[in-house]
Amino acid sequence: MPLAGLADSAQDLQTLVQQKKFRSAIQSGEKLLAQHPQWPEVKFLTAFAYQMNRQADRAETLYRQLISQYPKLPEPKNNLAMIYQARGDYDAASKLLVEAIETHKSYATVYQNLSRIYTGIASEAYRRALSESIEPAKYTHKIELSALSQLDIPVETATAESLIAKQSQGNGSPQDLARALKNQVKQWARAWSDKDFTTYTSFYSTDHRPNFKTHSGWIEYRRQRIMRPGFIKIGVSDIQIRAHNNIRAIIVFKQSFDSPSYSDRVLKRLGFKRVGKHWKIIEERVLSVL
């Protein structure tokens, strides 16, 4: 299967997961894994689908394989910790979450999950101390952990240059294209700040519809958010370009958002896909709050 076909298949699998079509995701994931058993994104999404479909044993097997192959990935450890916690094995769950934090300190979800386990254990110990109860601990049902549904592959040694070298089809020098990609992120932020809605939405792929049935539905939602009265100011900094294959790029940066009623600072990721001679946003995700 060509490289582009592989990437599209992974994206289709991600879409099934986002739409909570877990049975279909399992079938598609297993089919892809039969052809490419070491594909980490597909293995993770398939494990997640098994987990959400209440097939924890199968999910555990795939998560363990990922942890063995890629020990620095936090997402499989976080989700496997959820399985252990549901079984009442808090020591194992806590250990995995601590390891996930040690390898990736920007994941707010992992911190929150570990905090919930510790808080639950402490609350139960306090309750038992006051009541002198000899009943088994029951805090398992009071702790709800959050899953991670996307895999963030670590930065490779080569970044923009490795992506550009693979393309080499009239796109100019590696430095030129790297500069162009970073500049595109800045222009996207400027259009957002200026409320130039037509320009802002032109940066996105027509397939981009996160949690919406159609792209036009997402467009209308963004129009209502961006074009309401009041200024907005978007700043971007520390832009880093990461390569996955010759038609996709991952760009990670710090984003500031300011308006009369709300402000925040986040670490954000934009996924780009090459469409003809242009790069279009196909994914937008907040990685952590700064």
pLDDT in tens, 56-95: 999 999 999 999 988 888 889 989 999 998 888 888 888 8
Q: What is the pLDDT of residue 175?
A: 63
Span 199-228, mean pLDDT? 92
What lies within 8 Å, CB to CB, of 241 at 6+ separation is 159, 160, 163, 178, 181, 182, 249, 250, 251
In terms of CATH, what superfamily is 3-142? Tetratricopeptide repeat domain (1.25.40.10)
Identify whether the C-beta of residue 269 lies closer than 8 Å to the C-beta of residue 277.
no
Identify whether the C-beta of residue 145 lies closer than 8 Å to the C-beta of residue 81.
yes
Residue bearing the bigger pLDDT, 136 or 14: 14
Question: What is 160-289's CATH number?
Answer: 3.10.450.50
pLDDT in tens, 164-201: 334 434 444 556 777 888 899 999 999 999 999 999 99
* Among 89, 84, 11, CA closest to 51: 84
Map out the domains of the chain as residue ranges.
3-142, 160-289
* Among 272, 275, 269, CA closest to 288: 269
Q: How far apart are CA 286 and CA 118, in angstroms?
A: 25
Q: Which of 46-55, 183-192, 220-229, 278-287 has the lowest mean pLDDT?
A: 278-287
Q: What percent of the chain has pLDDT over 90?
A: 35
Q: What is the pLDDT of residue 217?
A: 94
Q: Which residues pair with 75 in a beta bridge?
A: none
Identify whether the C-beta of residue 47 lies closer than 8 Å to the C-beta of residue 55.
no
Q: What is the pLDDT of residue 164?
A: 37
Q: Which residues pair with 265 in a beta bridge?
A: 256
Mean pLDDT (the chain) is: 80
Q: What is the pLDDT of residue 109?
A: 81
Residue 255 has pLDDT above 70, yes or no: yes
Span 276-284, mean pLDDT? 87
Identify whether the C-beta of residue 242 lies closer than 8 Å to the C-beta of residue 249.
yes
Does the reported pTM lie above 0.75? Answer: no
Identify whether the C-beta of residue 67 lies closer than 8 Å to the C-beta of residue 80.
yes
